[in-house]
């Protein structure tokens, strides 16, 4: 699953538009991830801060 | 908030604000919504804009001009600096502005022209009727409303969702999403009238690092790199931290700015039945510089003008709204986008060695006309070793 480290996230939205599934949304200062997420990790790579992490957890 | 408007604008950045103002001045009833609680904040921008371009929309005002730039320097990986004076760099040199104040001014102008404005208010879904977008579900401070409009303008920026919800593919390829970090640094020694651009695969792979002065002893110091070059320990922020530590150890960070900048090609089509897409949401960012303020305002004004015409004609189909798409593609802005995309695609293939050689040749040329075409011509003439590489570019420019 996709883990959002909220203490690192700068709610900039760089991740939102690289998501091929459209699973991410930035609502004001809060990043949301929907069930459409396929754990591809593109968002984790593009994040300027390293706030996103794909983990093995279900 | 009314339940019906002629025009609904989603996003209160420069593009949305100019669209709302233009439409309100044309006599339309307009609603502008901004999801954030404040216009202009948080900043997601290096805040540079060309002088001539800015003048097309608004008279410069000392309240939001932070620095008046006289020259730009491009610094190659080996430190060779190419200086572009204002007289020859034209629109590449300009102002560094205060987006917080600038954006607020533009929205104020829209409001003054008669547009309704709502902050901390967002669109959560389009309203679709038989394939036509007829407005949006609007969430405002805990209340949900259906707002109908003849035309909806998606001005929701790099993290745009609205067009996607309408079925348009807006995904930015990873390699073309520039991942950026920037500090507003104070207590630093800089030339207040000069912007610096550092190039190189070590400093900023497939992007650049910038120093944009913001008044006395302060500057936006930032970096953008390709998403595909962003790896653990070498993300935008890691690279920026290393540069700042070395170059400005005395600097104090008073603002921490991050963001993404799409340097891909524009969307294949920027209209649908009842919908127009502008600015960063339409991916009309200059792929070479990453600049998007002017292009957002340009497409915002154009979209609102076409919307006003179609609304008064009683038909806002994709076919009618296409006038907007066709006009911006044919415009100077559209042509520059196309050209600069090809130049960007060429530049990212250059090794540091190539960049150093290019910079050395450039540093020795005095050009009265610093256009891209003259530049390439001069370089090919003077540098046979680079001929092959440059010929690739020359072909794309013809």
Taking only the tens place, the pLDDT of each residue in B48-62 is 999 889 999 999 999
Query: Please, are residues B30 and B20 in contact by the beta-carbon 8 Å criterion?
Result: yes
Q: Is the pLDDT of residue B396 over 70?
A: no
In order of start, what are the domains of chain B with their CATH numbers?
4-43+100-171+267-330 (3.50.50.60), 56-97+173-262 (3.30.9.10), 340-397 (no CATH)
Is the Cβ pair B179, A26 closer than 8 Å? no
Mean of pLDDT over chain B? 93
Q: Compare CB distances from A17 to B37, B177, B181 and report the shortest one's residue.
A: B177
Q: Is the pLDDT of residue B388 over 80?
A: no
Is the Cβ pair B227, A18 closer than 8 Å? yes
- Beta-carbon contacts of A56 under 8 Å, excluding residues fewer than 6 positions away, are none
pLDDT in tens, B295-346: 999 999 999 999 999 999 999 999 999 999 999 999 999 999 999 999 899 8
Question: Among residues of chain A, what percentage have pLDDT more than 70?
Answer: 98
Q: Is the pLDDT of residue B31 over 80?
A: yes
Q: What is the pLDDT of residue B189?
A: 95
Neighbours of A47 (CB within 10 A): 29
Average pLDDT over residues B38-42: 97
A-B Cβ pairs (cutoff 8 Å, strict): 93
Does residue B122 belong to the interface with chain A, where contact is any CB pair within 8 Å? yes
Q: What is the pLDDT of residue B369?
A: 58
Q: What is the pLDDT of residue B89?
A: 60
Q: Compare CB distances from B122 to A15, A27, A29 and report the shortest one's residue.
A: A27
Q: Compare CB distances from A46 to B120, B161, B179 and report the shortest one's residue.
A: B179
Q: Considering only residues B398 and B252, tell me which one the structure prediction assigns the higher pLDDT.
A: B252
Burial readout B331-366 (b: 16 or more C-beta within 10 A, e: otherwise):
eebbebbebbbbbbbbbbebeeebbbbbbebbeeee
pLDDT in tens, B84-135: 877 766 555 699 999 999 999 999 999 999 999 999 999 999 999 999 999 9
pLDDT in tens, A24-46: 999 989 999 999 999 999 999 99
How far is residue B257's CA from residue B47's CA, in Å, rounded to a whole number?
A: 11
Q: What is the pLDDT of residue A44?
A: 98
Average pLDDT over residues B13-42: 98
Is the Cβ pair A19, B157 closer than 8 Å? no
Segment holding B57, helix H or strand E: none
How far is residue B234's CA from residue B179's CA, in Å, rounded to a whole number?
A: 11
Does residue B227 belong to the interface with chain A, where contact is any CB pair within 8 Å? yes
Q: Is the pLDDT of residue B368 over 60?
A: no
User: How confident is residue A57, by pLDDT bands cut at 50, 70 and 90?
Assistant: confident
Residue B52 φ/ψ, nearest 5 degrees: -60, -40
Nearest-Cα distance to chain B for A58, in Å, is 23
- The bridge status of strand B208-213 relative to strand B194-198 is antiparallel
Is the Cβ pair B235, A49 closer than 8 Å? yes
Q: Considering only residues B274 and B91, tell me which one the structure prediction assigns the higher pLDDT.
A: B274
Is the Cβ pair A12, B35 closer than 8 Å? no
Nearest-Cα distance to chain A for B183, in Å, is 13
Domain residue ranges of chain A, discontinuous segments joined by +: 2-54
- Cβ-based burial of A6 (10 A; exposed 0-12, middle 13-18, buried ≥19): exposed
Q: What is the pLDDT of residue B225?
A: 98
Q: Is the pLDDT of residue B251 over 60?
A: yes
What are the respective helix, strand and coil percentages of chain A, to the nearest 5?
Answer: 15, 25, 60
Does residue A35 belong to the interface with chain B, where contact is any CB pair within 8 Å? no
The domain at A2-54 falls in which architecture? 2-Layer Sandwich (3.30)
Q: Considering only residues B94 and B284, tell me which one the structure prediction assigns the higher pLDDT.
A: B284
User: How confident is residue B151, by pLDDT bands cut at 50, 70 and 90?
Assistant: very high
For residue B42, say if its preceding peptide bond is cis, omega within 30 degrees of 0. Answer: yes
Average pLDDT over residues A5-9: 97
Q: Is the pLDDT of residue B194 over 70?
A: yes
Q: What is the pLDDT of residue B362?
A: 81
Query: Please, are residues B101 and B15 in contact by the beta-carbon 8 Å criterion?
Result: no
Q: What is the pLDDT of residue B64?
A: 97
Q: Compare CB distances from A46 to B120, B174, B237 and report the shortest one's residue.
A: B174
Nearest-Cα distance to chain B for A53, in Å, is 11
């Amino acid at each position: 699953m996709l883990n959002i480290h909220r203490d690192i996230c700068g709610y900039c939205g760089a991740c939102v538009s690289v998501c091929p599934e459209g699973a991410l949304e930035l609502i004001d200062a809060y990043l949301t991830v929907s069930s459409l997420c396929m754990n591809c990790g593109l968002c984790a790579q593009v994040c300027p801060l390293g706030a996103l992490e794909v983990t093995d957890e279900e | 908030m009314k339940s019906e408007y002629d025009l609904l604008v989603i996003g209160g950045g420069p593009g949305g604000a100019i669209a709302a103002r233009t439409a309100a001045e044309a006599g339309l009833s307009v609603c502008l919504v901004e999801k954030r609680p404040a216009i202009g904040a948080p900043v997601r921008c290096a805040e540079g804009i060309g002088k001539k371009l800015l003048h097309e929309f608004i008279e410069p005002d000392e309240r939001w001009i932070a620095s008046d730039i006289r020259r730009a320097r491009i610094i190659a990986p080996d430190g060779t600096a190419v200086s572009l004076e204002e007289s020859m760099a034209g629109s590449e040199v300009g102002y560094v502005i205060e987006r917080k104040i600038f954006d607020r001014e533009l929205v104020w102008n829209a409001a003054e022209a008669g547009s309704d404005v709502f902050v901390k208010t967002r669109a959560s879904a389009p309203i679709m009727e038989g394939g036509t977008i007829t407005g949006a579900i609007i969430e405002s401070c805990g209340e949900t409303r259906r707002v109908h409009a003849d035309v909806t303008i998606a001005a929701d920026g790099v993290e745009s969702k609205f067009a996607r919800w309408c079925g348009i593919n807006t995904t930015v390829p990873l390699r073309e999403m520039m991942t950026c970090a920037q500090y507003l640094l104070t207590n630093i020694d800089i030339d207040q009238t000069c912007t610096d651009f550092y190039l190189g695969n070590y400093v900023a792979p497939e992007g650049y690092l910038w120093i944009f002065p913001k008044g006395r002893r302060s500057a936006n110091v930032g970096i953008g790199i390709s998403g595909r070059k962003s790896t653990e320990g070498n993300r935008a922020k890691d690279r920026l931290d290393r540069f700042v530590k070395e170059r400005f150890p005395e600097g104090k960070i008073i603002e921490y700015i991050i963001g993404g900048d799409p340097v891909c090609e524009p969307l294949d089509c920027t209209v649908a039945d009842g919908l127009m897409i502008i600015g960063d949401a339409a991916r009309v960012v200059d792929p070479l510089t990453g600049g998007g303020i002017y292009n957002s305002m340009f497409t915002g004004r154009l979209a609102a003008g076409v919307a006003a015409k179609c609304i008064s004609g009683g038909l806002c189909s994709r076919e009618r709204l296409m006038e907007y798409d066709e006009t911006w593609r044919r415009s100077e802005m559209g042509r520059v986008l196309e050209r600069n995309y090809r130049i960007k695609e060429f530049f990212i293939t250059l090794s540091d060695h190539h960049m150093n050689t290019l910079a050395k040749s450039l540093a020795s040329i005095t050009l009265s006309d610093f256009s891209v075409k003259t530049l390439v011509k001069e370089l090919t003439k003077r540098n046979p070793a680079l001929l092959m590489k440059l010929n690739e570019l020359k072909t794309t420019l013809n």
